[in-house]
Chain A
Amino acid sequence: MNKADRPSLARTILTDIHFWVPAAVLGIGIGLLIFVARV
């Protein structure tokens, strides 16, 4: 793929499953932390 045809870095990252799995788990973790701190 030519460099000009390549999507932007941000787009490449945001369409990578390797990004969304840890990001989603981090979101769950922060939510859980807020929950346990409030209980």
Chain B
Amino acid sequence: MSTGKQAGSLHGLGVLCGIAAGVWLGAAEAPTKLVNAGLSPFLISLGMVAGVFVARWTVPMVLKGTGYVFQDIREKPHLIVWAILAGALWAVANTLTVFAIREVGLSIAFPLWNTNSLVGLLWGWLLFGELTGAKQWPQVLGGAVAIAGGACLLAYATSFQGTAPARGPDVGIAAALGAGLLWGTMYIPYRKAYISGMNPLSFVTLFTIGELGSVLALAAAFEGGLHRVAGELAAARPALFWLFLGGFCWVLGDLFQQYAAKYIGLGRGIPLSNTNQIWGLLWGTLVFGETAGKGIVERVLIVGGSIVMVMGAWAISSAEAPESELAAWRKASERERLRYGLKDDALAVDGESARPRRHWWELAVVAGAIGIFVWLALLARPQPVSINGVWMAVLIAVALAFLARGGLLLWRRTRFS
């Protein structure tokens, strides 16, 4: 972990990463909207996670090299367990949301599982000393509640159909609450890794094994075996490019979220990245025209929810951790160092003490990943969805601007450590 001065200077970087995470996680929803109905939710999830898997092994390798990633893992081998646990938690939570939406609809399910940021905040405080001694804790908590509340208003407004989808409300509510609990708890491994000095790029490389393994197991269990899943995937080939593209955007958003969790903690980083709801809404409204024909009540809810979310993000952004809280962070780091026999420099911010050399075959892996995307793009069929090209260009430009700014700052200040 960094010194107080270093961590203080990293607050702005962490906030930028949290907001960039929201932008890219929101953008990840766009390609999936291009996928025609008819694919099972498990298959959509599996297609996206397969794209995530390809991107998660490629992006870290491009940025730091496999030598760096493997050295990082060798120095903290215990974190393999937590990374795979986190991947499994994500996969089970994601599947629970499928059932929740099916049983009670998005407008009820979303607010319930959106409690994940509050669960993360609770674990951050209880297990890692976040917000300890911080006078701004009401500001952070209030901001998190505002973002969750704003997201609920948006979810309610965008799924306002006037019909009751409820078939088994108790089951749906339980599934949605369970998803929130699992996602909120998934941040424990995140924080555990970062107070141990692990690079987020190394962590996501391991995380994705647990994630893909669990999603495959769940798809096989619920879709009637691996053979059938493979057959359905082959049949869905024309749509796979869009799912892979969504997965790729999701990886960029998730990486920013990981850096936010590392540099400003769970209590601040997770609610900020949960602003992805507002960006998903912008894509839906401006590019896909989803709110066309909505009444005045829905429009007021959308504007109101967005304003509440922005205010929540602002409240958290301006609540920099004071020295007393940074001392609690250092104490949590010290616990890890003593417990797992980590080297002192394992907790350094820049992590640039040793730079393992690059290998020629890393280029081959990158070429292979690009090849997969190109192959799927050639197989892709245009989907019968009307889009607004101007707004799409604007939103892509905004997302790329956040990527460039966030990436550049991460490189300059931390060398992606």
Contacts and interface: CB of A to CB of B under 8 A. Distances in A.
A9 B77 contact: yes
A9 B175 contact: no
Interface stretch (B66-74, B185-193, B228-236, B375-383): B185-193
Interface string B339-363: 1110000000000000000000000
Contact of B340 (A12, A32, A37): A12
Name the interface size band of chain B.
Answer: 20 to 34
A22 B192 CA distance: 11
Interface string B179-222: 00110011011001000000000000000000000000010001
A12 to B, nearest CB: 6
B43 interface: no
B95 interface: yes
Given A26-B85, A36-B171, A12 B178 contact: no
A16 B339 CA distance: 9
Interface stretch (B86-94, B147-155, B158-166, B298-306): B86-94
B174 interface: yes
Contact of A39 (B171, B178, B181, B222): B171
A22 B78 contact: no
A26 to B, nearest CB: 5
Contacts of B77: 9
Interface in B305-354: 338-341
Nearest to B93: A29
Nearest to B178: A32
B-side interface mostly: helix
B78 A12 contact: yes
Interface in A1-39: 1, 3, 6, 9, 12-13, 16-19, 21-23, 25-26, 28-30, 32-33, 35-37, 39
B123 interface: yes
Interface in B369-402: none
A29 B85 contact: no
B341 A3 contact: yes
Given A22-B189, A26-B85, 9 more contacts: A3-B341, A21-B127, A22-B186, A25-B181, A28-B181, A29-B89, A29-B92, A35-B171, A37-B222
Interface of A: 1, 3, 6, 9, 12-13, 16-19, 21-23, 25-26, 28-30, 32-33, 35-37, 39
Which 7 pairs of residues, A with B, have the shortest CB-CB distance?
A25-B185, A29-B92, A32-B178, A29-B182, A36-B99, A36-B175, A39-B171
20 contacts: A3-B341, A12-B78, A12-B339, A18-B127, A19-B81, A19-B85, A21-B123, A25-B185, A26-B185, A29-B182, A30-B92, A32-B96, A32-B174, A33-B92, A33-B178, A35-B171, A35-B174, A36-B171, A39-B168, A39-B171
